[in-house]
Structure formats: structure tokens, C-alpha cells
Amino acid sequence: MDESGRLSMEPEIPIESFKIFATGLDHPECLAFDRQGFLWAGGEAGQIYRIDPEGKLTTVANLGAFCGGLAFSLLDVLFVCCPALGVVKVDGSGEVSVFATHAGEHKMICPNYGVFDSAGNYYVTDSGNWRKNNGYLLRFTPDGKGRVIGGPFGYANGLALSVDENFLFMVESNTNRVLRFELKPDGLAGEPEVYAEECGRFPDGLTLDAEGNLYVSCYASDDIHRITPMREKTLFAWDPFAILLGSPTNMAFGGPDFDVLYVANLARTTITRVPMGRQGQLLANQRVKTKLRPRPSPI
């Protein structure tokens, strides 16, 4: 490990492989694809952008406050983590409504990132406050009822759900670690295990490819790490100039063959992308059209 917290090795792919896909965004934190292949992103001042396959921006809505994690439900409705408002829903016409400010009696401090399973359950992190170890993992059932299922953690952040939906991965940014939870039939999460350590500086976002490789984007070290299913960790990409990877926060797979990785750069005004040579793991809203059998909700 070198002084910057990166693995002491050459990146798997050169930074020149990344290209700018869209520009003119207000410091995007997160991004997510809808079923039609449009990319959505949030802005620092509350903008909700829809981006066509050519990279053209349309501002669909404005929440008036910083937008964190984006995720699409099974009905392809956009859920946005907005720390100032809670979790907010945005439909295709731009209509905005608050989905939740609490999970049961727990009032969210900093809702950060969410992911849906194939039964419509919504897992979301409440980061808490930096260095206060008051972050939590929450779960909302399709009827909107929420509960705390894990914590406290040190700044709970990005999430990724295994393809069989038996395990949930979560970034703990305070400790530069990725944790993994077994999801129980009663809807609770098992005890966290450390899946990977020393994941750059301030790991933020997670995504999985179809082969089970986990990608970790790091806000403070301008790099992306890859963790294989055997838990071997490599430096996937790094930008020493923080231009094409400038405080990368979240990632999503897309493209006609679903083999292009798109990255939000919070320190810049761009979304960049890179061809991967392997397909990403389909998310719940994207799997609906493939008619996979959904996992029943235990509640």
C-alpha cells in the first residue's frame, strides 16, 4: 500500500480508456439506468437529470438540495436519497414526493444509497455523521414500512446485492472497508463480515459484474478497485490527475450490450465511461423484462 492508500501496482486498465459520456452536470454523486436505457443522475443543487444514449441532458426535476444515491424500483420509479428531505420518489414526468423520513422510529440523518431486490424490498444506508459511528442499514418493504436491520456503522455508504439476493455488500467509509451481510428469511441482516479492507481512501460506491466481481469507487483516492469472488483485490483504474476519475462516487453498467461501466465524478461536472469486456449484473428493475422469478418477501 502506498502513501495515497492505493495498492502498489499498475492499474488493470489505463486511465486513457475512459471517455467523457456527458458533461455539464452539477457535480453528480450517483447514477442509475432505467429499463429503457436512459441514464439518470443527481446534482449538487437538487437537479435530477435524464441522459439519453448520446449523452444529451434533460433536467426532469429539482429537489432543491443535494442528491445522493439513485435507484429504480420494480415499477421503474426513481428513488433518490436526499439528506435534507429523506428518501424521495421522482416519476418520469418529474413529479416529486417524499417516500420516507424515518424507518420505523429511526429518523434518518443522512440517507445515502439504496438498492432494490426482486421482491420490491428497498435497502438503504443512513450514513449518520462522519466519524460518529452512527450509521445504519435500513430496509423498506413494498408497502413502505421501514425498519433498522443493521448498525451502528462508521458512515454506511454504497450497497450492492448479490445476484442470488442472499448477500448484501456495504461500504463503511470511515474504515475504508467493504462489509458483507447474509440476508435472513425474516428480513433482517446477519452479523457483518469484513469482505475487503484497505479499499483506497474513502470508498463510496459499489457495483457487481455478471461474473461476481465487485467494483469499489473511491472518492478521496480517485480510483476504482476490483474484488474477485475469491476476494482477491486489484487496482482496476486510477487517475493521477483526477480528470476522468475525479472523486468517483458511484457506478452503473449500461450500453447496448450492458458491458460499459459509467462513473459519476463528484469533483467534476462529468460522467465518464469505459468498455469493460464483461457484462454487468442486471439490477432488479432491469431484470423485470427478463421475467426472472422474483424472490418472495418474508414480510
Active site residues: 204
- Sign of torsion over alpha carbons 250, 251, 252, 256: positive
Give the closest residue to 115 by CA, choosing from 180, 154, 171, 70: 70
d(CA 168, CA 154): 17
Q: Residue 157 annotated as binding?
A: yes
Torsion over CA: 62, 65, 68, 73 (sign): negative
d(CA 142, CA 121): 6
Q: What three-state secondary structure class fits 229?
A: coil
**What does the block give as the cell for 110?**
443522512
C-alpha cell at 93: 414526468
Q: Do the annotations mark residue 112 as ligand-binding?
A: yes
Q: Which three cell numbers stand for residue 194?
A: 469484513
Q: Strand, coil or helix: what is 166?
A: coil
Q: Which residues pair with 254 in a beta bridge?
A: 260
**Coil vs helix vs strand at 47:** strand
204 is in an annotated binding site: yes
User: Residue positions in the annotated binding site for a divalent metal cation?
Assistant: 157, 204
Residues at the annotated binding site for substrate? 112
Known binding-site residue numbers: 112, 157, 204
